[in-house]
Structures are given as structure tokens and as C-alpha cells.
Amino acid sequence: MLSPLTHPVYRHLFLAQVLSLVGTGLATVALGLLAYKLAGAEAGAVLGTALAIKMVAYVGIAPVAGAFVHLVPRRTLLVTLDLVRAAVALVLPFVTEIWQIYVLIFVLQSCSAAFTPTFQATIPDVLPEEAEYTKALSLSRLAYDLESLASPALAAALLTVISFNWLFAGTALGFLASAAMVVSVVLPSPRPPERAESAWGRTTRGARIYLATPRLRGLLALNLAVAAAGAMVIVNTVVLVKANLGLGDREVAWALAAYGSGSMLAALVLPRLLSELPDRPIMLAGAGILAVGMAIGPFASQALPTLLALWCLLGVGNGMALTPSGRLLRRSAHPGDRPALFAAQFALSHASWLLTYPLAGWLGAGRGTGTTFALLAAVTATGVALAVVVWPKRDAEEVEHAHADLPPDHPHLTGTDGARHHRHAYVIDDLHHSWPGR
């Protein structure tokens, strides 16, 4: 599983990701505590709104960034975005009004909306071999889990000697260290799209490929299930632990760490599972775990030990449902279209979070956590059911299809003796506008 780290460019990028996410994890804990300081028991509603603003930035900025990222050197773009994020993190401890949180979160997450899909689309170019890329996806999942495991654990230790405002300084240091690691390597140049398009065409190209591909429509439904369960964890952990159970800041960090430990466990075992089983059953099983966990949530959140066990279970489901998604994206587009497709995944998946974050926050504040668990459990189950329906069991990479619209001597039909029926690895592009039989 560690073999991708022998590649020097990937190793530096992975370290950049780890350092950035450690800082982000500290900010996640600090932001929840800052919201509790300013709003008390209404912290869930404040945090839900802040995270909804984050999703607005993700949904609006990511497709634009994906459309034009090939025009800017990747290293320059990634470093600049890290520096801006560090500056915002340094300002957050000084806010005194809730609206100030909202403005700064929008700026911070607009930068992340451009950074993350650009970073993700770089990895297939650095590691073109399928087996190595699969291992890199698991390593990337482990890195993301540091945000919800190592960072909260570090935050719990730091909170014994410093106030939570100082955690934002750790966030800034994480972004600065990430920028230093990116500067230290030469990144492959992004490949331009296969043909010139209008600005609107480039902006929507990733979404058009995404929504026309059955396996990615299934992934979109799974994103809804993941968002419903994840929003409950991220928005209401502070309320469940501090308001419902009457515990302290360190117990909040422990609960978030339990969620991360489950996801990390899934990431550790997935490379072996994915070498033996297709992506679909593994990802559907993970989403099913999320649905079951959310259904038992009202009963399992009445004491800290059972809450920790539940959060760990939801983390396992999250890791199983999300980790293989990069494999689906990689094989669903030509290299020149990957930045746009990764940006579309980033935007469309976070559209689900845009729904579930405020739902988790406002319902938790207005109706209580029991009702919130029940409604989000229904949303999770709906996402699983939709994925089962729209993602066909037989999801072959090569698909037989016809080109009735092409002349027999078209270059795409070379080697078929003029026959318009042929078979190859099928992706949506300028010659393949829809999925055969769909």
C-alpha cells in the first residue's frame, strides 16, 4: 500500500495533503468551539449555516476552476491558494460577530474549492498505473481521516494548555507547510481539453460527462447518503457531547476522532478488497452501513461510549463509500477532461452537503437530535436506494456500441472494416454523447 510513496513527486504531494489536512482538522474543532462561544446552545444552527456557505463556495467555484485550471501552472495555483487560506485562518480568532465567521468561511472555502479538485486531478498524471493509483486513493483517504482523527486528538491535547483560538494558528501553519511541499516539486503540466469550447461549455463539460455516465450517477446518489450521515457527525457532535451529555471540549475531540478512526480502518483494508471485488458492491455496502448507523443513532447517542462506537461505525461506512470514487472518475474520462470531471464531482457531491449541513443544524436546534437522526437516516436510505437503481450491476469498462452518425471512413472507426459497431473503453466525449442503451 505504501509503494506510491517511493515516487518522489507523489511523496511530496502526499505530505502537502497531510499537513494541510492536519491544519484543517484543528480548524474544524476550533470553529465548532468558536460557534459555541458566540451562540451557546444554538451553535449547531450557526455551524450548519457556516458549513452551508462553505458548500455554496464549493458548488459555485469548483466547476469554474476545473474549466480554466489548464491555463495556470499547477504549482503556482496550489501555492497561492494555500497562502490565502493561511491568511484567513490567522484572522478567524479575532471575530466577534457571527456574520464575520460566515464571510471568512466563504473566502477560505472558495480557495479550497479551487485547490482540492486541482490537487486530485494531478495524482492520476503523477501515477498513471491503475494499481498504484488505487493505493494512492487509499493513502489519500487516510490523509483525509487525519482531519477527523489525528487533528482532533492533537486538539484535545492542546486544549489542556491553550485556548481554542490558538488552534487557528496551527491551521495557518498547516497551510504554509503544505505550500512549502508543493514548491519543492515540479508538477506535470495539465492537459488541455481535446477541443476548444466556449467559457460556458468548459465550465459545464465536467458535469455533462458526469451526469451522462451511469456509474457516476450512482456515485452522486452515494454522495447524498454520505453527506446525510456526515452532516450529523460534523454539525451536531458538539451539541450531542456538550449540550446533551454535559461533557467538555476534549470529549468533542474524542468523538470526532472515533469517526476518523473508522474511516481510517476502512481505508487500510480497501486496497486488498478492491483487488478482489468490483467497486460497486463495496461502495454500496459502505452506504448501507451508514443507513443502519443513522437509524440506530437516537438510541446509541445517549452515552459517550455508545456514541463513540456509533461514530466509528459511521466512519467505516464513509470510508467504504467514498475511497474508491477516484477510480470511477479516472476511468470515466479522457486525461484532458479529468480536471473538469474531478471538479464536477467536487461540486456535485458538495451540493448534497449544501442540503444536509443546514438541515442537520436547523433541525438539531429546532426539533432536537432524535428527530434529526430520523430524518437524515431517511435521506441516507434514499441515497442508497437510488444508487442501487441507477448504477447497473454490469458496469464493464469496454462497451459495444454503434456510430450511425459517423461515415464508414471516419478515423474513429479505423480497424473496423467500415463497420459502425465496435467495442472499446467507453467514456462520454465529443464522439460519444450518451451511454449505449440509456
Q: 373-430 pLDDT, tens per residue?
A: 999 999 999 999 999 999 988 877 767 767 777 777 677 666 665 556 777 776 777 6
Q: Is the pLDDT of residue 283 over 80?
A: yes
Q: How confident is the prediction for the chain on average, in pLDDT?
A: 78
Higher pLDDT, 273 or 43: 273
Q: Band of the pLDDT at 70, cuts 50, 70, 90?
A: low
Report the pLDDT averaged over residues 44-62. 72
Domains, the chain, ordered by start: 3-187+199-390 (1.20.1250.20)
The share of the chain scoring above pLDDT 70, in percent, equals 77
Report the pLDDT averaged over residues 140-145. 64
Q: Is the pLDDT of residue 150 over 70?
A: no
Exposed, middle or buried by CB within 10 Å (0-12, 13-18, 19+), for 423?
exposed
Report the pLDDT averaged over residues 253-276. 82
What pLDDT, on the 0 to 100 scale, is given for residue 147?
Answer: 55
Grid cell, residue 61, equals 467555484
Q: For residue 366, how far is the Cα from the chain centroid?
A: 28
pLDDT in tens, 290-302: 999 999 988 888 8
Q: Band of the pLDDT at 66, cuts 50, 70, 90?
A: low
Higher pLDDT, 67 or 74: 74
Higher pLDDT, 229 or 29: 229
Grid cell, residue 315, equals 466512519
